[in-house]
């Protein structure tokens, strides 16, 4: 097996690319909740996305690329999960989301 080292490097540019992808996903997904309980749960999920995105930016600014990478992946996972369970509409975008 040959390991392509370029794909294994964690760079500022790679983190910034993931921040942009998550930002696009956050902007594209729209709520499709059907009741107050779902709205409250979605609100928590979106807050978690926003908080992890903020954490990723903080870690990136301080040069901690590993934690920045982890945080932005957690952020995107919250959005993706909300689409998957039907609280957000991903508008059939199978690049930004894992569709139901």
The 10s digit of each residue's pLDDT in 42-82 is: 999 999 999 999 999 999 999 999 999 999 999 999 999 99
pLDDT of residue 82: 98
Beta-carbon contacts of 30 under 8 Å, excluding residues fewer than 6 positions away, are 88, 89, 91
Beta-carbon contacts of 82 under 8 Å, excluding residues fewer than 6 positions away, are 29, 42, 45, 46, 88
Query: Whole-prediction pTM value?
Result: 0.90
pLDDT of residue 12: 97
| Other Cβ atoms closer than 10 A to 35 | 8
Query: Which pLDDT tens digit goes with each residue over 1-26?
Result: 665 666 778 999 999 999 999 999 99
Domain architecture of the chain: domains with CATH: 26-100 (1.20.1270.90)
Task: Return the beta strands (E) in the chain as ranges.
Answer: 30-31, 88-89
Query: Which pLDDT tens digit goes with each residue over 38-50?
Result: 999 999 999 999 9
């Amino acid at each position: 097996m040959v390991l392509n080292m370029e794909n294994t490097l964690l760079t500022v540019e790679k983190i910034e690319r993931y921040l942009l992808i998550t930002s696009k996903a956050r902007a594209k997904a729209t709520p499709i909740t059907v009741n107050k309980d779902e709205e409250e749960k979605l609100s928590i999920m979106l807050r978690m996305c926003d908080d992890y995105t903020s954490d990723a930016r903080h870690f990136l600014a301080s040069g901690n690329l590993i934690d920045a990478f982890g945080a932005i992946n957690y952020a995107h996972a919250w959005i993706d999960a909300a689409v998957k369970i039907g609280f957000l509409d991903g508008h059939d975008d199978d690049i930004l989301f894992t569709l139901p």
